[in-house]
Amino acid sequence: MIKVGINGYGTIGKRVAEAVTLQDDMEIVGIVKTKPTYEIRGALDAGFPVYASTKSKISFFEDKGVKVAGVTEDLVDISDVIIDCTPGKLGVNNMEMYQKAGTKAIWQGGEKHAPIGVSFNALTNYSSSINEDFVRVVSCNTTGLARTLYPVLQKYGIDNVQAVMVRRSGDPKDSDRGPINSIEPVLSVPSHHGPDVQTVIEGINIQTMAVKVPTTIMHVHCIIAELDNEPDVNEILSMWESTPRVNLLEGFLHKDGSKIRNLPGTAEIMEFARDALYTRGDLNQIAVWKDGVHAFGKKLYYYQAIHQESDVIPENIDAIRAMFNLESDNMKSILKTNKALGID
């Protein structure tokens, strides 16, 4: 059993911890928090040992009745791998600590590729992380782009991709940065998503732009891919139907000339996830509107939705397997993870 420590028990950290407990080849040995805020309840209920980020924080936890097993360094020492879910651009500062302890580590997409050196997507470049010590799971948006573009690349070849990320302004719980009465473009081009895709799909020609909108529940991608060969929409849909962690949904139903709203937007998709009784109402899959997929000549047009809180969770599990070479076949790991997490 691989001993997994979670450094940062927030939106991603708590979900990864729960996902690890559902696997038969890894276990949680502890989680790190900086403050004994409400998320600590989930860790205590799950029986996870709690570690304070620093010695100076221990009394804060104890004052709130939380027994502390130690500090971050103590958890690093007993872990085979640390999943670093600390805030973006801060986590890489922990690399020296992990190196000193001889502990492997996985960072999230908020960190840049360069300091870590290996970026991960289970579908596109799983083998690149086999036996590696340090790996970065790419961001939620990059994960979504990689999952749908990679099979298209394999089947038709891609000349270039142009994509616009319509991004949520904050997560549902982020009341301090929640909906804003504004639409805010990212004025630098490309946005980070295009270069990030290139870290997991070598050689792909992709340009991206991004805009922040006043919603909290999902991102939406508007994608135009110019292919080397003319695509057939039905063949594309069939291909995505068989691609793991891609979910084809119908925006509208048609009956006797009537157009009936089904899953036309992100609000309905999140309700669909809750109705399906997915854990927390999460959607680990990338939602592609099948009635929004079109082809004109060699150009493929489509829309997809990304649940920013959860699509990278199974990727972290697969990254652990790759780093310890528990499974050398990416599809076997993907299917094993999907079965454990109840991903259709």
| 140 labelled catalytic | yes
Triad 220, 221, 222: Cα angle to 5°: 125
* 70 neighbors 93 (Cβ within 8 angstroms): no
What number of helices (H) and strands (E) belong to the chain?
Answer: 12, 18
The catalytic residue among 123, 140, 313, 320 is 140
- Single-letter code of the amino acid located at 339: K
Length of the chain: 344
Q: Which residues contact residue 299 at a Cβ distance below 8 angstroms, ignoring those fewer than 6 apart?
A: 224, 225, 226, 227
Q: Which two tokens stand for residue 305?
A: 């939705």
DSSP state of 38: T
Q: What is the DSSP string of 158-227?
A: EEEEEEEEEEESS-TT-TTS---SS-EE--SSS-THHHHHHHHSTT--EEEEEEEES-SS-EEEEEEEEE
Question: Which residues are tagged catalytic?
Answer: 140
